[in-house]
Amino acid sequence: MVIRAVLADDDVLLREGLAGLLERAGIEVAGTAGDGPGAVDLVAETKPDIAILDVRMPPDRTAGLTAAETIRARHPGTGVLVLSAHVAVEHALQLLSAEGGVGYLLKNRVTDVASFVEAVQRVAAGGSVVDPDLVRELVNTRRRVDPLAPLSPREREVLALMAEGRSNAGIAERLWLAEGTVEKHVRSILTKLELPETTADHRRVLAVVRYLQA
């Protein structure tokens, strides 16, 4: 079965180059567009297997992403592969949270023709594709923003049991520790999470909230 695709990019040379690349790989290009709204209309008209969209197109900087979300909502059977010049974690997460055929690749991946064609085929078949650079950025971002990073493994265990509603005595019994040792761990947790003692806040509850957010 021949895959049918539509392309949307405001760069005419890149758009036509991608079209030629896909056609040489045996993928039918059902049409091309130069902006987000045009891409949405083209998908509605041609009912392709996949829409390949640049993130930045007229009428604004995220028109491609908006078009991708619209296409996913209106045509769930159409895969969406977004191309971006730079890693944009927020944009990628917004797109990849959808079910079905979705993908996010940096434009420099297009130079690896075999890998690009494989990505198109995978998304068209309902799979997902994530650029390796995006994966690395997501991992690094997660490490940077992990609010529990200062805690030791034992302190994480204590905090997890706090989140279950256990008292210091209950935590001590569960972990086979002296209650005084648990109290020291709790004080250390509150200090490392930078939860100062005030009359307005319950630091133990705030620590649990921080744990649940993480």
Q: What is the pLDDT of residues 144-165, one digit of tens each?
A: 556 777 888 898 899 888 887 7
4-143 and 153-213, same CATH topology = no
12-24 and 113-124 helices, crossing angle to 10°: 80
Average pLDDT, the chain: 85
Q: What is the pLDDT of residues 114-138, one digit of tens each?
A: 989 999 999 999 988 888 777 676 6
pLDDT at 63: 87
What are the residue ranges spanned by the domains of the chain? 4-143, 153-213
Question: Mean pLDDT throughout 8-29?
Answer: 94
- β 28-33/4-8 pair status: parallel
CATH number of 153-213: 1.10.10.10
| Helix/strand/coil for 201 | coil
Residue with tokens 């040489």: 24
Burial 116-134 (b: 16+ CB within 10 A, else e): bbebbbbbbeeebbebeeb
CATH homologous superfamily for the domain 4-143:
Response regulator (3.40.50.2300)
Q: Give the range among 31-45, 68-82, 89-103, 166-180 with minimum mean pLDDT.
A: 89-103
Q: What is the pLDDT of residues 44-76, one digit of tens each?
A: 999 999 999 998 888 887 888 889 989 998 999
Q: Alpha-carbon torsion 201, 205, 211, 213, what sign?
A: negative
